[in-house]
Structure 1
Amino acid sequence: MKRSGVLAALPDGPRERLTELGREVSFDAGARLFEEGGHADRFWILRTGNVNLDIHVPGRRPAVVETLGPGRMLGWSWLCPPHRWHLGAEAISPLRAWEFDAAEVLALCERDHELDHALLTYVVEVIGRRLRAARTRLLDLYGPYGSGPTP
Structure 2
Amino acid sequence: MTVADLGREPFLRGMRGADLARLATAARPVEIPAGRRILTESAPAENFWLVREGTVDLDLKLPGQGTTVIDTLGPGMVLGWSWMFRPYRWRFGAVARTRVEAVEFDGRLVRTLSAVDPSLGYELTRRFAEVMAERLQSARLRMADLSMAPAG
TM-score by length of 1: 0.89
What are the superposed Cα offsets for residues 74-130 of structure 1, whole Å, 9 maximum, x if unpaired? 000000111111110000000011111111101111122221111010011111111
Query: What is the CA-CA distance between 1:65 and the residue it aligns to?
Result: 1.0
1:39 is matched by which residue type in structure 2? P
1:48 is matched by which residue type in structure 2? E
Question: Aligned residue for 1:148?
Answer: none
Q: Is the 8 A contact 2:46 2:88 kept in 1?
A: yes
Q: State how many pairs are aligned.
A: 145
Query: What is the CA-CA distance between 1:133 and the residue it aligns to?
Result: 0.4
- Spell out the pairing of 1:35-46 with structure 2 (5 A cutoff): 35-46=40-51
Structure 2 CA distance for aligned equivalents of residues 142 and 10 of structure 1? 40
Q: Is the 8 A contact 1:10 1:119 kept in 2?
A: no
Query: What is the CA-CA distance between 1:63 and the residue it aligns to?
Result: 1.3
CA RMSD of aligned residues (A): 1.6
Q: Structure 1 144/69 Cα, relative in aligned 2: closer, same or farther at 3 Å?
A: closer
- Spell out the pairing of 1:98-137 with structure 2 (5 A cutoff): 98-137=103-142
Query: What is the CA-CA distance between 1:47 and the residue it aligns to?
Result: 1.2
Query: What is the CA-CA distance between 1:21 and the residue it aligns to?
Result: 1.5
**1:57 equivalent in alignment to 2:83:** no
Return structure 1 stretches of 4+ with deviation > 6 angstroms: none
Query: What is the CA-CA distance between 1:13 and the residue it aligns to?
Result: 2.0
Q: Is the 8 A contact 1:9 1:122 kept in 2?
A: no
- Spell out the pairing of 1:27-38 with structure 2 (5 A cutoff): 27-38=32-43
Query: What is the CA-CA distance between 1:144 and the residue it aligns to?
Result: 6.8
**1:68 equivalent in alignment to 2:57:** no
2:88 is matched by which residue type in structure 1? H
**1:8 equivalent in alignment to 2:13:** yes
2:55 is matched by which residue type in structure 1? N
1:104 is matched by which residue type in structure 2? L
